[in-house]
Each structure stands twice: as structure tokens, then as C-alpha cells.
Amino acid sequence: MQVRDMFELGGQVALITGGSRGLGLQMAEALGEMGCRVVITARKADELAQAQRHLQERGIEAMTVVTDLQRAESIAPLVDETLAACGKIDILVNNAGATWGAPAEDYPDEAWHKVMNLNINAPFFLAREVGKRCMIERKRGKIINVASVAGLKASPGPMQTIAYNTSKAAAIHFTRALAAEWGKYGINVNAICPGFFPSKMSAGLLDQLGESVIERTPLHRLGDDDDLKGAVVFLASAASRHITGQYLAVDGGASVV
């Protein structure tokens, strides 16, 4: 196989959760540019419609499904709708996520459950559904979980995001455990661990800590609108066919210092 051909994704279908903006939209754009038909899902119909226009203007075939992944009962219908329109799911990107800042001693029950439901429960339930219905029988598939460098270490005191850190550490080990189980089916399961990227979720923290984050990062920059594209294409493509159960930190080197 030619190296260029290893990265081609023509004819494949990618389902990206949290795909209406930020990192999810960036990854949908990358997969679409490499030939995927992309299906993006999120809670807000207006944001999905805007994202769909953005993708279509770039020549990317894009479908949207409004889904609240906090509700476990919404997961099977999401897969139903995707399969009815596309016939298969080759690539699943579990990107949707949430965070909540509060001191551990005062952390609200509601906040803990919200973060855990979206960051770890939903990826498992969706992967289970897609695996059973789209990948196991075909003996192929790519699952990419978007974890975080926050799952690799504790955060500085001002961040106070104990549920987020815990859920992202769980996402990394969920990736390993699922890869170990589903390798026999030819399914690759890997994770991307982004560092700080400007986004709606990180805006408040970056207002407070942005300069210090950049100062502590070896490459002295934040992630931008292109910095996840290569990583997600690599993990979605045949170029990574012998890689599973791994995480790739995309953080400018922040996690190594």
C-alpha cells in the first residue's frame, strides 16, 4: 500500500459527537476533507445547522442528528438514524464532553453526575451500540475517544475540576480496556488527549490562566483550529491499523514538563 493511500478515507462514514463546534467540528472537517461522509451530533439544532453549512461549503457531505447524550435512551435512536441514512458507521469519534468547576468539598452532586454521564457513560454506551451493530460483525472499525491531558495528571489548584479530571482518566483506561477486548474483532480503539485549545468550554479558564499555560508549554502556544486534524485522520485511517489502546497527547508538550 502506498503511504498516501493509507490516509485516504473515501467512502467511509464517521460519526462525531459534539461535532457542532470547537474540537468536534475541527475533527469533522478533517475527516470530511479526507473523503468521509460525516455525521455530527449535538444538543442544539441551530449550532448543528451552522456547522453543517460550514462543512458543506468546504465540499464535505455532512448530516446532522440532534441528540442529548446525557440521556442514555437517546443513543440507540442516534445510531438508528445514522444507519438509516448512511448504512454503516466506520469511525466513531466520542468527543462530546462537559466540565464544571467547584472545590471538591463543595462539589454538587448534579455537577458530578452531569460530567460523568457525558464524559464516560455516553462514550461507553455509544461505543457498545456502534460496536454491536456496525463493527463487530464486519471485523473492522475505528473508535477514537477524546480524553484530555487533564486525565494524565491533577490540575493546578485554581482549576478545581475534579470530575473532569477523573472522567478523562477513566476515558483513557476505558480506551485501553475496550481495545483489549475488541482487538479480536479487528477494531482499533485509541484516544486523543488535547491540551488547552481556545473553546467555549475552556474560555473562562484561559481568561484566568492563559498566559501561564503558554509559559509552561514547551512549544509556547495553545492549540489552534488545525492542530487536531492530523491526529484524528491518523487514528481513523489505515496508517494506524497496528495501533490500539493508546493515547496521543496533542498539547504542545505541556504534559511532559
| Nearest one of 111, 118, 109, 115 to 71, comparing CA atoms | 118
Q: Which residue has 469511525 as its cell numbers?
A: 91
Quick check: helix, strand or coil at residue 202?
coil
Which class for 215: exposed (0-12), middle (13-18), buried (19 or more C-beta within 10 A)? exposed
Q: Helix 229-236 vs helix 22-33: angle between axes, to the nearest 10 degrees?
A: 60
Is 164 an active-site residue? yes
d(CA 224, CA 196) in angstroms, rounded, equals: 9
* CA distances to 44, 102, 110, 153, 166 from 116, in Å: 20, 15, 10, 18, 9
Q: Assess contact for 91 and 38: CB atoms under 8 A.
A: no
Identify the active-site residue in 107, 164, 185, 247: 164
How many C-beta atoms surround the C-beta of residue 119 within 10 A? 27
CA torsion 10-12-18-24 (nearest 10°) is -30
Catalytic residues, which ones?
A: 164
